[in-house]
Amino acid sequence: MTTNPYIYIFVAAIVSTVIRVLPVTVFRKPIKNRFIRSFLYYVPYVTLAVMTFPAIIHATQSKISGILALVVGSVAAWFNLSLFKVACICCGVVFIVELVLC
């Protein structure tokens, strides 16, 4: 493969900067269209869910530790633990499970 990582980074940077900057500089009124509002509202949850599973069970050395991290992490996040704590809990679960299993 002769792909250049920097081109990917700059393509992503241009798109994400436009997304971030455009509304602040252009929109002075709230978006009224109900479909667009609803779509934009659902997008982050769906995307993050799709990217989390099944990727989480392939990221770890054993599938079972990934599944347990998903379950325990979901419960921790459900109870509004901070981003940092949930991330640490997931790591801890994987570490302990693999310490026992492997």
Partner 1 sequence: MNFNIEKYTKKAFLSGAVDGFPIGLGYFAVSFSLGIFAKQVGCGAIAGIINSFLNHASAGEYAVYSMIGIGASYIEMAVMTLIVNARYLLMSTALSQRIHPDTPMIHRIGIGFHVTDELFAISLNRPGYINPIYCYGAFLVAVIGWCTGTATGIIAGGILPGRLVSALSVALYGMFLACIMPEARRHKLVGVLIIISFVLSYIANEAAIFAKVSSGTKTIILTVVIASLAAIIFPHPEVEDDD
**Residues that contact partner 1, how many (by CB under 8 A):** 79
* Span 56-85, contacts to partner 1 by CB under 8 A: 56, 59-61, 65-66, 69-70, 73-74, 76-78, 80-85
Smallest gap from residue 92 Cβ to partner 1 (A): 7
Question: Residue 102 contacts by C-beta under 8 Å, 6 or more apart in sequence?
Answer: 61, 62
Smallest gap from residue 11 Cβ to partner 1 (A): 5
**SS in 3 state form for 75-99?**
HHHHCCCCHHHHHHHHHHHHHHHHH
Task: Compute φ and ψ for 18, nearest 5 degrees.
Answer: -60, -45
* Span 9-38, contacts to partner 1 by CB under 8 A: 9-17, 19-25, 27-28, 30-31, 34-35, 37-38
Smallest gap from residue 40 Cβ to partner 1 (A): 5
Cα–Cα distance, 74 to 97 (Å, whole number): 17
